[in-house]
Structure formats: C-alpha cells, structure tokens
A and B are shown apart, each in its own frame.
Chain A
Amino acid sequence: MSEVQKFKVTIDNIAVEVAPGTTILNAARMIGGDVTPPAMCYYSKLQDSGGKCRTCLVEVSKGSEKDPRPMPKLVASCRTTVMDGMEVKNITSDKVLDARKGVVEFLLMNHPLDCPVCDQAGECDLQDLSYEHGTEKTRYEFDRRTFEKEDIGPYIQLHMTRCILCFRCVYTADQLTNKRQHGILDRGEHSEISTYLSKSLDNEFIGNVIDVCPVGALTDKTFRFKNRVWFTKAVDAHRDCPTCSGKVRLWMRGEEVFRVTARKDQWGEVEEWICNDCRFHKKETKDWVIEGPTKIRRSSVMSQNHYINEVVPQPELINDVIGKNPKLLFDIHSESDVNRPDVDLSKIEGPAHSNDFKKNKPE
C-alpha cells in the first residue's frame, strides 16, 4: 500500500475501505441504508459523544485479518474502531436485533407515553427507533420516574421525564460555548439534566441543544404547543447573520414562521450550528431569504398533507348561464375560530394560553 493505508471492513457482507481509526458506525454510514446502526447518543459533530445509549450494538464475527477470533460480546459500533479484515454483522445477526429490542425496551422504561403532548413527536429519534425495533407493550410495572419541573430560561423547555441521558446537550454546551451552565446531576436512575444553582442558560449558541436532543426533553419554548411539526412546512432559508452561518430551516404555516431550526442531514445531525438570535427572534418571513422547500422523505409524517406544486392562478370562471362570476357564499373566517387572521400564534412568546384567544372578533 502507498502512504495512505486503508482498512477493508465487511459490514453485513458489504465491503468498504476506510481509513484507520474510523469507527464501525462511520464505516457503516459510508455504505448507508439499512446496514447503518441507529444511534441515539453518538453525534459526529460532537467530540467524545457516543457509547451511552447502546442502540448501535453490532456483532463482530471476525476481529481482523491477523486475529480472526470473533469478539466475545456485542460491541458499541460508535466507539469501536475498525481493524483490517474485520467482519461485522448488523441486521444479518439475530443476536443484534434481539439486543437492540432489549435496549429500546430499557430506553422506553422510564420514558413517558406523552407523545400526543410532546412537541418532538413526528421528528423524534426514539419514536422512530421504537417503531422499528421496539415492542408495543411494556413489561415495566412500577411508576415511571418523575422530577420536579424546572424552568431553565425563556427559550428552552426542559422535560426531564422524557430525557434518555444521551449527554448530547452537555457536550454541545461544553464544546460550543465557553461557559457551560448545565450538566447532569446525581447518578444512575436519579441523574438529571439541570442548571447548577438554577442559573438560566443565556449563551449565544445554547439553542442548539434543542436540535441535538434526540427526544423531546429539550424543546423550543417559542414553538411550544403552537402547532404539530407535521402541519408546518419545512423551508430552507438563510440570512446574513453576524454570529452564525445563518443557514436554517424554517417551519412555516402560510406566511407565518412558527419555528426555526438548524438544517439536519440524513443522519438527523445538524449541518451547521445556528445562533439564538436566528432561532428565537427571527420569526418573520421578511427576515429570511427563502431558498425553497426542504426535501423530506416520503415515508416521513412530515411530508403528509403538503402540496409542493406551485399554485397556478386559475382563469376567472364566468358562469355561462348567468353571465357573471360565481359568488363566494361563505368565508370560513367569518365563522371559524381557528387560524383567526387577528391572532398570530407565531408571534406569541412561549405557548398560547386561554387568555390569548379571548380577544373579541373584529366584525
């Protein structure tokens, strides 16, 4: 071999050549498709992440060319680097699928079943994972763990009961900002994400913990309960931002910008971090240059009920019999209380409350 030596690794009978030091997970991602193990805690943009959730477990049936013995236990593919001639089994191994099913059951053990309330529903990694690998029934008979509700600032909503302790947000805060204000307190089952001495998080890039969170533990408070993600339409947009790249994804409904997130790649990872100003304060269409609708997998719930074709103006219909335009008999806004033109939900700070709807209808 020349100066760059490549390791040959076979994953589910598909061979790929990767650089030494690559993890099995990243090698599988180079192949792509079904052979890629799912990952709940590993995040390629965050150093030292991974090794906590155990969903990426794979079977190594041949250690390397020099030492062909199989590894005795299933290994976490996000933390195990490849060896030359390694053979890995992911979806072709019953052992892996069985173990993954168990891991999903463990993750769901303390996870509340509040997807109808949760804002992450529809784009939740745990939802996808349990749908693919989990069982519908739980065998857990005890009460799920609960926490005292904690307010961690005006922009981010923390739901500790939903947390799966992946540590992604901790690494994000550690590596993106120079002063981390939150971390994990206590140990084992009692461990929880919290801010030390209830300090609120006010860093320019702290909003990224929302995108990084694989479940609904950290959600956008400015979007809280405003709409379900699948009723909003994803649009790629950018703006000239002095602090970040300004490349974002807008979640719109009509002309209203309901939510701003970073763009995510095919592994659900953020492409470029965005700042809090872009995320929380730029909720107007005129703030952004819209590039076009985001490409979303057809199988995703997010692509439901969205009509991407351009609206072509129809020629005016003149009725042949009566010789005039058809009359609009009923304007829905005259009767309906939903989507009232005088109530802009996207402009309300935080979630809507009962008093936000009490304004009198102008007629």
Chain B
Amino acid sequence: MEQLTNRAQAVNRSPMTFSERIYLPAIFKGLTITLGHIFKKKATYNYPEVKRPFSPTFRGLHVLNRDEEGRERCTACGLCALACPAEAITMEAAERKPGEENLYREEKYAAKYEINMLRCIFCGFCEEACPKDAIYMSETVMPANYTRESFIYKKEDLLIPHPKKQENA
C-alpha cells in the first residue's frame, strides 16, 4: 500500500532480552512515574468548597437583563431565536398596556420567553444577536436535575432580580 507519510515504523519483533523478560525494570520505571505524581500540584478542585475560576469568555446560564429602573429590556424582537442554531429559544410578544410602563422598557415586550436548556448548546449567539442588551450569559454552570420539565427555563427563571425591590428587601 502506498504510504501517506514516511513516519511509519516497522514493529520490532525480535525476541526479548533477559532484562525485558524478567519485567522488573519496567515495573519499577512505572512505579516511579506514579510516585512522582504524589508530589506534583493537584489538577482537581474540591468542588463545591473550592470553585474553579471561569475564563473571561465563559458562557454559562442565560440571564434576562433589566435596565436601571428595573424594567425588562427584552422587546421580543426574535433575533436571539433566529440566531439560535439549536432552536432552543421561543417567545411570544405582547403590547404594553397603559400603566405597565414601569414593567417594560418598550411598547412591545416578551410576554412569554423560554429557553429549552435541553436543546441549548451554550454557543452564545443569542447574546451576540441581542440589540437591546437584554440577554446575557452568566458565569454560572447549568444546574443538573432529574426531570426534563425543570430544563424549560421561563422568563421568570431567567430575569435578574429587580434592582429596587432588592434594595428594600
């Protein structure tokens, strides 16, 4: 067969020497490597006591942002859902009624907003597409759960706490 590279080597099939046949040198060599690792720095963290630092570009669980007055920023423009390669985001828009100005920033808002975390691949395209600075990906890992129902994140699960209500509490 024609070779693609010249890196292939023929396997050495000559009979083993005496030192190879008693296996002891190879066993000791292996044990030294194992023992050497005891004195090296541990690669693991004792989660949850010690948390691993996130990289600055880490893309975790989504949050829906509010503005300074605590109004929802999302206007249900659908660009996040359009950008989403996994089609995880769905929404339904509604018109703001008079008297709801303190709840929603624009005259149109997302009455329903859902992210199916079973579908989400945490690519961050939604964050990039958002023209209203409404959706962000936080530095939180997606919590595991037992039921599929708990992975449908609704607007109430995604919204950040109201800034003013938090101060009073």
Query: In the complex, which residues 132-186 of chain A have their Cβ closer than 8 Å to any Cβ of chain B?
Result: none
Q: Complex formed: what's the CA distance from A356 to B116 in Å? A: 23
B160 close to A (CB within 8 Å): no
The interface stretch among B11-19, B24-32, B104-112, B161-169 is: B104-112
Contact indicator B154/A116 (Cβ below 8 Å): no
Min distance, Cβ A234 to any Cβ of chain B, angstroms? 16
Q: Which of B82, B90, B94, B131 contacts A351 (CB 8 A)?
A: B94
B100 close to A (CB within 8 Å): yes
Q: Which of B78, B100, B112, B152 contacts A231 (CB 8 A)?
A: B78
Knowing A114-B106, A117-B107, the reply to whether A339 touches B90 (Cβ < 8 A) is: yes
Knowing A115-B131, A121-B77, A231-B81, the reply to whether A353 touches B114 (Cβ < 8 A) is: no
Q: B82 contacts which chain A residues (CB < 8 A)? A: 228, 230-231, 301, 304-305
Q: Which residue of B lies closest to A357 (CB)?
A: B111
- What 1/0 mask marks residues of chain A from 324 to 363 whose CB sits below 8 Å from any chain B CB? 0000011010111111000001000011111011000000
Contact indicator A353/B97 (Cβ below 8 Å): yes
Min distance, Cβ B67 to any Cβ of chain A, angstroms? 14
Contact indicator A335/B77 (Cβ below 8 Å): no
Contact indicator B95/A334 (Cβ below 8 Å): no
Q: Complex formed: what's the CA distance from A225 to B106 in Å? A: 12
Q: Which of A115, A121, A226 contacts B93 (CB 8 A)?
A: A226
Knowing A336-B152, A338-B114, the reply to whether A116 touches B79 (Cβ < 8 A) is: yes
Interface residues on A, range: 20 to 34
Min distance, Cβ B34 to any Cβ of chain A, angstroms? 41
Q: A335 contacts which chain B residues (CB < 8 A)? A: 148-149, 152
Contact indicator B149/A330 (Cβ below 8 Å): yes
Q: B128 contacts which chain A residues (CB < 8 A)? A: none
Q: Complex formed: what's the CA distance from A58 to B80 in Å? A: 39
Q: A301 contacts which chain B residues (CB < 8 A)? A: 82
- What 1/0 mask marks residues of chain B from 107 to 134 whose CB sits below 8 Å from any chain A CB? 1100111101000000000000001100
Contact indicator B95/A115 (Cβ below 8 Å): no
Knowing A305-B87, A354-B97, the reply to whether A115 touches B77 (Cβ < 8 A) is: yes
Q: Which of B75, B81, B90, B116 contacts A117 (CB 8 A)?
A: B75
Q: Complex formed: what's the CA distance from A117 to B79 in Å? A: 11
Instruction: List B residues at the A interface (Cβ < 8 Å).
Output: 75-79, 81-82, 87, 90-95, 97, 100, 106-108, 111-114, 116, 131-132, 148-149, 152, 154
A224 close to B (CB within 8 Å): yes
Q: B149 contacts which chain A residues (CB < 8 A)? A: 330, 334-335
Q: B114 contacts which chain A residues (CB < 8 A)? A: 336-338
Query: In the complex, which residues 215-269 of chain A have their Cβ closer than 8 Å to any Cβ of chain B?
Result: 224-228, 230-231
Contact indicator B78/A228 (Cβ below 8 Å): yes
Q: Which of B75, B81, B152 contacts A116 (CB 8 A)?
A: B75
Q: 20 new A-B pairs (CB below 8 Å) besides A336-B152, A337-B154?
A: A114-B106, A116-B106, A116-B132, A117-B106, A225-B94, A231-B81, A329-B148, A330-B148, A332-B152, A335-B149, A335-B152, A336-B114, A336-B116, A337-B114, A338-B92, A350-B95, A351-B108, A352-B92, A353-B95, A357-B112
Q: Complex formed: what's the CA distance from A305 to B83 in Å? A: 10
Contact indicator B95/A224 (Cβ below 8 Å): yes
Contact indicator A345/B92 (Cβ below 8 Å): yes
Contact indicator A116/B131 (Cβ below 8 Å): yes
Contact indicator B90/A356 (Cβ below 8 Å): no
Q: B113 contacts which chain A residues (CB < 8 A)? A: 338
Min distance, Cβ B72 to any Cβ of chain A, angstroms? 12
Q: B100 contacts which chain A residues (CB < 8 A)? A: 354
